[in-house]
């Protein structure tokens, strides 16, 4: 009888490994299904464009002010899961002869907000005469469905 146990031992070990693999596979499949259902059921925000308004404050003359170019870090149009973020690269070029300060960046698009915690540099951002600066910001999207452009407003002082 002892000989039978030794003969069946490799078969039993193989069955244990097969069952373990099957259980791991089923658990993994369960996680994939839950993640997929969450992805499918989460609303998407579609950004179709990115605009910029510049507001000169105080004694900042707008005629010789800072040139602002804005680029999302991915090509427009793009989608973001609701309540998520997308990154924006903002380039500030000062062709004038006085220093300008980027005081604040906001959005007037309903449900969107510019996250001050995720600036690549702190504000106010100084842009000296004849120089350029780059700032990366994170924009939080609304929790619901949206499709359309997003507008950023940049507030600049001299």
Helix (H) or strand (E) holding 136: strand 132-140
Cα distances (angstroms) measured from residue 49 to each of 95, 98, 147, 150:
27, 32, 10, 6
Distance CA 156, CA 146 (A): 29
The reported pLDDT for the residue numbered 17 is 67
**End-to-end C-alpha distance for the chain, whole angstroms:** 95
**38 DSSP 8-state letter:** H
Model pTM? 0.70
- Percent of the chain at pLDDT above 90? 38
The reported pLDDT for the residue numbered 146 is 93
Q: Side-chain half-sphere of 66: how many Cα atoms within 13 Å?
A: 34
The reported pLDDT for the residue numbered 6 is 62
34-48 confidence digits (pLDDT tens): 555 545 557 889 999
The reported pLDDT for the residue numbered 48 is 94
Distance CA 99, CA 95 (A): 10
116-132 confidence digits (pLDDT tens): 777 788 899 999 999 99
The reported pLDDT for the residue numbered 24 is 57
Q: Which CATH architecture has domain 44-157?
A: Sandwich (2.60)
Residues of the chain where predicted confidence (pLDDT) is lower than 70: 1-8, 11-12, 14, 17, 19-41, 60-64
2-16 confidence digits (pLDDT tens): 555 566 677 667 677
């Amino acid at each position: 009888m002892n000989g039978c146990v030794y003969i069946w031992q490799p078969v039993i070990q193989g069955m244990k490994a097969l069952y373990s693999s099957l259980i791991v596979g089923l658990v993994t499949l369960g996680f994939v299904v839950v993640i997929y259902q969450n992805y499918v059921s989460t609303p998407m925000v579609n950004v179709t464009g990115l605009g910029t308004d510049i507001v000169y404050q105080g004694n900042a003359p707008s005629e010789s002010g800072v040139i602002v170019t804005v680029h999302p870090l991915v090509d427009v149009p793009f989608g973001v899961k609701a309540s998520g973020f997308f990154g924006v690269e903002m380039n500030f070029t000062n062709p004038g002869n006085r220093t300008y300060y980027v005081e604040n960046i906001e959005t007037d698009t309903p449900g969107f907000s510019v996250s001050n915690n995720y600036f690549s540099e702190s504000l106010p951002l100084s842009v000296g005469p004849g120089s350029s600066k780059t700032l990366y910001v994170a924009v939080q999207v609304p929790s619901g469905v949206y499709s359309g452009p997003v507008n950023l407003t940049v507030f600049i002082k001299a």
